Amino acid sequence: MGSRRPTDITLGVADILRPRGITFIHDTVNEVQPDALKVCTETSEYEYDYLVISTGPHLSCEEIPGLSPEQGFTHCTFTMEYAVKSKEAWNRLLEEPGPIVLGSTQMASCFGPYYELAFEMDHELRKRKMRHKVPITYLTSEPYVGHMGVGGLGKSKRFMEDEFAELDIKTVTNQSIDEITPDEIRLAGGGTLPFKLAMLAPPFKGVAGVAPLGNPRGFIPADNHYRHPDHANIYTIGVAMALAPPEPTPVPTGVPKTGFMTVRMAKAAAANIAADVQNIPPTYEKELSVVCLMDMGRTAALMVADPVLPPRQKSYLKKALWAKWAKIQFEKYFLWKMRHGYSRLP
């Protein structure tokens, strides 16, 4: 919505890591040679004792004709460049209002941000007194709203249904997309959704350079200590890691791996590598839980899932004004922490 500029949320990673004695190299990986203990990039080669794969997703837009934000029919927020283009498309919509379609494609494994977008866009349009000129449709591969790739979270189904009903946001669930044209989304079932602005989370895949180490979609398998089952000195964390869904959905979806989860995986992998160096057994077990603050425009929602996938020992979902304040405060705290190179409170 324009509340943050790119410079507000970008970090000079190399400078932050240098004082810690860590060299940051920004390069594209061509190949990993696990037997030679080597990573080959476009410009050089690097030997390793331990390798941690935390590459994030490949946005697999090529799976759906017309999906790539390069073509400009639809938009997404998963890179800074795309996010900036999204903002320009949003500004055009404000000038020439029309239908918005947003949501997630088949094989997407990141649902939260598009729920946030729906709530934020609705809120912004109401502030501008033009919500009635912009029909909003939430289109998704999830079998129902509130599924979020994790089989729902407590009462999340009813919660999202109620919120969307209250806000006049239509939902089209359980859908696979065949093709996108400049002004229409064509669904596998035969329907079409016209749009003036479309924002869709693309299918996720593993990144090409490391994909040969992974499953058919290129995600890297990991044992209970975040270690590759075939290569004891390769670890994997975050979106790069393979995580089986709790149960198959009619239209395939992936399990989201949030920043919160990635940070915890990173700490666990680091501790386990340290243990391995000291020749003691790994101490951190894979135990995935998640805390999430979902922006809802004027408010936000706190979501807790422990473990991430059901059945859960603990789950929590609450919409509140304080959750919005908490989200803003956490953003400030987290960025301050990162900018100063702290991994925890100093």
Q: Give catalytic residues, as residue numbers.
A: 110, 292
The interface region with a copy of itself, picked from 9-17, 276-284, 302-310, 318-326 by CB under 8 A, is 302-310
Please identify, using beta-carbon distances, which residue of 101 and 220 lies nearer to a copy of itself: 101
Please identify, using beta-carbon distances, which residue of 50 and 316 lies nearer to a copy of itself: 316
Q: Which of residues 124-153 bind a copy of itself (CB under 8 A)?
A: 126, 129-136, 152
Please identify, using beta-carbon distances, which residue of 137 and 175 lies nearer to a copy of itself: 137
Place of tokens 């044209």: 181
Instruction: Identify which of 110, 85, 89 has the alpha carbon closest to the alpha carbon of residue 101.
Output: 89
**Which residue from 2, 311, 332, 344 is in contact with a copy of itself, where contact means CB under 8 A?**
311
Size of site (CB under 8 A) for a copy of itself: 28
DSSP string, 20-57: GT-------EEEEETTTTEEEESS-EEE-SSEEE----
Phi, psi for residue 83 in degrees, rounded to 5: -65, -40
Could you tell me the smallest distance in angstroms from the CB atom of residue 104 to a copy of itself? 21
Residue 312 contacts a copy of itself per CB under 8 A: yes
Q: At 259, which amino acid appears?
A: G
Residue 183 contacts a copy of itself per CB under 8 A: no
Please identify, using beta-carbon distances, which residue of 129 and 344 lies nearer to a copy of itself: 129
Could you tell me the smallest distance in angstroms from the CB atom of residue 94 to a copy of itself? 15
Cα three-residue angle 43-44-47, rounded to 5 degrees = 155
Residue 165 contacts a copy of itself per CB under 8 A: yes
Could you tell me the smallest distance in angstroms from the CB atom of residue 246 to a copy of itself? 10
**Which residue from 19, 313, 345, 346 is in contact with a copy of itself, where contact means CB under 8 A?**
313
Distance CA 210, CA 32 (A): 6
Could you tell me the smallest distance in angstroms from the CB atom of residue 256 to a copy of itself? 18
Strand locations in the chain, DSSP E?
29-33, 38-41, 45-47, 51-53, 58-59, 74-75, 100-104, 136-140, 169-172, 177-181, 184-187, 192-194, 197-201, 204-205, 234-236, 290-296, 299-306, 314-320
Residue numbers at the binding site for a copy of itself (CB under 8 A): 126, 129-136, 152, 154-155, 157-158, 161-162, 165-168, 306-307, 310-315
